[in-house]
Amino acid sequence: MFNKEEQTRKIIEFIQDYFQKCHLGGVVIGISGGKDSAVVAALFAKAIGEENILGVTMPCHSKEEDKEDAKLIADTYHFPLINVDLTKTYDTFHEEVEKLSEFTKSEDSDINLKPRLRMSTLYYLAQMMSKKEHKTYIVAGTGNKCEEYVGYFTKGGDSVSDIKVLADLTVEEVIQVGEVLKVPEKVLYKTPSDGLSGKSDEDKLGVTYKDIAKVIHQEEVAEEVKEKIEAMHKNCEHKFHIPTYFQDK
């Protein structure tokens, strides 16, 4: 059984131990307006203090609504929140690619570009903050175990971080930790969505997070659903281990 108070305490200790061991000073967190980044921010606020957090919203042709929810989280946990609008950067990149006669505009629709630009931004800001504050800032990952299990993340995007605190927690467990830390209900119980495609995560995945959690915990679930989830799991193996040539020794 998942003991939410105990797990919350242990995650906070995990962060504190790692920061002490590596002499770290602060953390940069992309605040999407969803529950994962809210829970991560709440955990770090407890673990290292709100004054050592930099929250970042990175709209890119995005809904204003998400930014409001991000602000709610920053206000709740009292950390500074800055806004880096990536719309122009994204558009400039496209203009450059469209110059190539080989490619036409209609073929252009890589939904993974935004997460990669966001990752680049978080690392850029971590570097800047480290210089400005004379202490080392790292980038926090916000992915949970269900997303990782089915590969629902962008390689080279949201999968790149310096510390992962939710990666072993199912969506339901993340919500429970959020309850302990009093994450505003509006955010905590919001339907998960990537904020990119206009669809909910579960619509896109074609399976529910509940069923993914059941498969992870080897609990009973309809055979057809299980097969679908296991196939997704198998198909994302390449996102975790890059196939590499090794010399026989």
- Please, which residues have CB within 8 angstroms of residue 42's CB and are 6 or more apart in sequence? 73, 76, 77, 178, 181, 182, 183
CB 8 within 8 A of CB 177: yes
- Applying CB under 8 A, which residues contact a second copy? 2, 7, 10-11, 14-15, 18, 22, 82, 84-86, 88-89, 92-93, 95-97, 100, 102-103, 107-108, 110, 112-113, 116-117, 119-121, 123-125, 127-128, 131-132, 141, 155-156, 160-169, 238, 242-247
Nearer to a second copy, 127 or 208 (CB): 127
**Nearest distance, CB of residue 230 and a second copy, angstroms:** 18
Q: How far is CA 53 from CA 79, 159, 196, in A?
A: 6, 20, 25
Nearer to a second copy, 74 or 113 (CB): 113
Burial class (CB in 10 A: 0-12, 13-18, 19+), 199: exposed
**Nearest distance, CB of residue 236 and a second copy, angstroms:** 12
**Nearest distance, CB of residue 104 and a second copy, angstroms:** 9
Among 71, 77, 54, CA closest to 126: 54
Nearer to a second copy, 223 or 246 (CB): 246
Nearer to a second copy, 16 or 200 (CB): 16
Nearer to a second copy, 51 or 185 (CB): 51
As a whole number of angstroms, the distance between CA 222 and CA 225 comes to 5
Nearer to a second copy, 128 or 222 (CB): 128
**Nearest distance, CB of residue 72 and a second copy, angstroms:** 21
**Nearest distance, CB of residue 131 and a second copy, angstroms:** 5
**Nearest distance, CB of residue 191 and a second copy, angstroms:** 25
As a whole number of angstroms, the distance between CA 64 and CA 102 comes to 35
CB 158 within 8 A of CB 141: yes
CB 145 within 8 A of CB 170: yes
What DSSP state is assigned to residue 237?
Answer: H
